[in-house]
Structure 1
Amino acid sequence: MNMDQMIEIVSSKLKLIRIEHGYTQDKMASTLGISKKTLLQIEKQRTHANWTTVAAVAALFRNSEILKTALGGDPVEIAEILAHQGIDRPKEQTMGGRVWWKDVKQENGFKLQQNLISKHYRILDADNHRWYSSFDVDEAYERLDELVNS
């Protein structure tokens, strides 16, 4: 996935996310810091949201089931990976990949997984804490080797 693909996905789901949260168009536009006219254009799929709006949707509607299902996981994590070209630090504990993930490689208590929807990679430790996330498979394998050999 890249930024343009995330923009397309979020733009196409924006109306459903708004309805899921019981927001009027006025409230949604105000919450996102865009005009109602812009929101209507996005909802009617005449235009796409910009990256700033997509990042705001990811952050403000992080728990949206529609958004999580469309992106295959935590919207903020995916936006962060795209914005920073990866995440390389220990993060919160995950569910270990029971939903949306396939194991790619396991070694010395670490496992490399790929998201089935967004196709990004992550490395989890034995307690399912996320150590690394990226869309670059080569970087993911390199980081796994570093973690296993440290």
Structure 2
Amino acid sequence: MDKQEIRKQISKKMKLIRVEYGYTQDRMSEILGLSKKTLVQVEKQRTLAGWTTVVAVCALFQESDVLRGILGDAPVEIVETIAHKQVEPQGKKTLGGKVWWYNIAATEKYTLQQNVMSQHYRIIDSEDYRLFRRWIV
């Protein structure tokens, strides 16, 4: 998955995310910093949401079931990884990858996992803290 693919996927689901939260187009456009006209164009699939808008959606609506259906349990992590395309120590507590991750290899202390949706990799420790993540092209 790359920026363009994520823009397409999120753009297709913008209306569902808005409806899931019970927001009007006016309120959603205010939250995202878009004009209502732009939001309508995205919702009607006449244009794609910009990368900045997609990142805002992932950050502000990260608990959305619709969004998690597209990007898995860590939408912000996905867009961060795609944006940076590099290893970054995080130290963030995860859910252990029980749903959206394949375990590739494991030792007593560490587990290498691959995300089901984006295909990026991460290493978590035995207490489920993320140590590194990497987007491999």
- TM bucket (normalised to shorter chain) is over 0.9
Letter in 1 for 2:62: R
Structure 2: runs of 5+ lacking an equivalent:
none
Question: 1:108 Cα shift?
Answer: 4.8
Question: In the alignment, does 2:127 pair up with 1:131?
Answer: no
| Partner deviation per Cα, 1:48-71 (whole Å, 9 max, x = no partner) | 000010011111111111101211
Alignment of 1:45-56 (within 5 A): 45-56=45-56
Task: Check conservation: 1:80, 1:87, Cα contact below 8 A.
Answer: no
Partner residue, 2:57: 57
1:98 corresponds to: 98
Identify the residue that residue 40 of structure 1 maps to in structure 2.
Answer: 40
Normalised to the residue count of structure 2, the TM-score between the two structures is 0.94
TM-score normalised by the chain length of structure 1:
0.86
Alignment of 1:9-88 (within 5 A): 9-88=9-88
**In structure 1, what is the Cα distance between the partners aligned to 2:60 and 2:116?**
24
Question: Which residue identity lines up with residue 84 of structure 1 in the other structure?
Answer: H
Q: Give the whole-Å Cα distance in 2 for the aligned partners of 1:69 and 1:86.
A: 25
Query: Number of paired residues?
Result: 137
The structural deviation recorded for 1:89 is 1.1
Identity of aligned residues (%): 48
Could you list the per-position Cα deviations for residues 28-86 of structure 1 after superposition, in whole angstroms to 9, with x for gaps in the alignment?
A: 01111111111111001111000010011111111111101211221111111111113
Structure having the higher Rg: 1
C-alpha deviations, 1:63-120, integer Å up to 9, x for none? Answer: 1111012112211111111111134213222121111111111235111101111211
Structure number with the higher helix fraction is 1
State the AA in 2 paired with 1:26: D
Query: 2: distance between equivalents of 1:128 and 1:31?
Result: 32
Aligned-partner residue type, residue 99 of structure 1: V
In the alignment, which residue of structure 1 is the partner of 2:122?
122
